[in-house]
Amino acid sequence: MSKYRILVVDDEEDLCEILQFNLENEGYDVDVAYSAEEALLLDLTKYQLLLLDVMMGDISGFKMASMLRKEEKFASLPIIFLTAKDTENDMLTGFNLGADDYISKPYSIKQVAARVKAVLRRVTTTEATTQPTTASTVLSYDKMQLDTKQKKLFVAEEEVSLTKKEFEILKLLMKNFGQVYSREEILSQVWSDEVYVLDRTIDVNITRLRKKLGVYGKNVVTRAGYGYVFED
């Protein structure tokens, strides 16, 4: 297996060193940064995963993630939040920013390693199952096109930036036009069963996705008591 490069961003140096040591023992290349400001000076394109502490200095983990998600090249970069903030609202904030997982402190190193493995496995699976570039890799509806090869969405020929989760939800619904998916089915398809995710996380992602789709947001329909469907 080729090595994954991970960046740990946390203002607690001891935690950074512990995470770096143990994740390197798992076979990953791991760098550390002791603040978001320090991390943002690095070439983040070389990392396949970020582990971000939420409560840090002037730029929090949430703020850093928000800054990255505004840049197209980081729109689908996997992020796991590490934090002592464990309320439901905090978790929803994290997932609303496109987080792939949210781990509350105190945590065990084995737990972190397992969650890291789960997130990276999802990334690998997505890449491995991508079909060759053909017309079939583009899902179209009216003036909206979802390129499943390049992982891009175009509305009226204008590119729309989506997070990885938003993209995968839209792909699932468009690929199965007219089929209703429950929250549980969407969770099993888009999130790993090993990762704890609230049902409301689906609603948050759907709401954000509808806004980005503009006039096509109305095509992502809620079927009360059943789930979601993409239809006319």
Choice among 4-13, 58-67, 196-205 with the minimum mean pLDDT: 196-205
pTM tops 0.85: no
Residue 35 has pLDDT above 90, yes or no: yes
CB within 8 Å of 191: residues ≥ 6 apart: 165, 197
pLDDT value, residue 129: 45
Return the bridge partners of 31, or none: 7
Chain segment 145-179, per-residue pLDDT in tens? 898 888 889 998 889 999 988 999 999 999 888 88
CA angle (127, 79, 227) in 5-degree steps: 75
Q: How far apart are CA 75 and CA 68, in angstroms?
A: 7
> Of 47, 50, 19, 52, which Cα lies nearest the Cα of 35?
52
Domain annotation for the chain: domains and CATH numbers: 5-128 (3.40.50.2300), 135-230 (1.10.10.10)
Q: How far apart are CA 55 and CA 36, in angstroms?
A: 10
pLDDT value, residue 86: 61
The secondary element (H helix, E strand) that includes residue 83 is: strand 79-83
pLDDT value, residue 187: 85
Q: What is the C-alpha radius of gyration for the chain, rounded to an integer number of angstroms?
A: 18
